Amino acid sequence: MIRYCVPCRYQFKAIQDADAILKEFGEELSDLRLVPGAHGVYDVEVDGTIVFSLDKAMRFPETPELIRKIRAKIGTTKARRRKAYRRP
C-alpha cells in the first residue's frame, strides 16, 4: 500500500512508485493499493509493516531503494510462510 498526501500533490510520485513495484514484482503481489491521505504523508507499507516513511526519512524514496526494501520484506514473509507450512 502506498499512502500519499493529496493536497501535497504526491499522487504522481505514488503512481510512479506503484508502476515500478508492479514491474518488479508483478504476480508476486496479492494487491497494491494507492490510498489518498493528507498532512504530508507518504508511506509505503508491505504486509502491515511500513517499509518507507517520508516523515522518518525526510525525503522521498529512490526507486531502487524502495524495491530493495520491499524485496527484503517479501522475502521475509515468504520464508515465514514456508516454515509455517512445513510444520507437522
Question: Can you give the pLDDT at residue 74?
Answer: 87
Percentage of the chain exceeding pLDDT 90: 77
Contact between 44 and 10 (Cβ < 8 Å): no
Question: Can you give the pLDDT at residue 78?
Answer: 56
Residue with cell 515468504: 78
pTM listed for this prediction: 0.83
Q: How many H helices and E strands in the chain?
A: 3, 4
For 7-38, what is each residue's pLDDT tens digit? 999 999 999 999 999 999 988 888 999 999 99
Write the CATH number of the domain with boundaries 2-86.
3.40.30.10
Question: Can you give the pLDDT at residue 72?
Answer: 93
How does the average pLDDT of the chain come out, rounded? 89
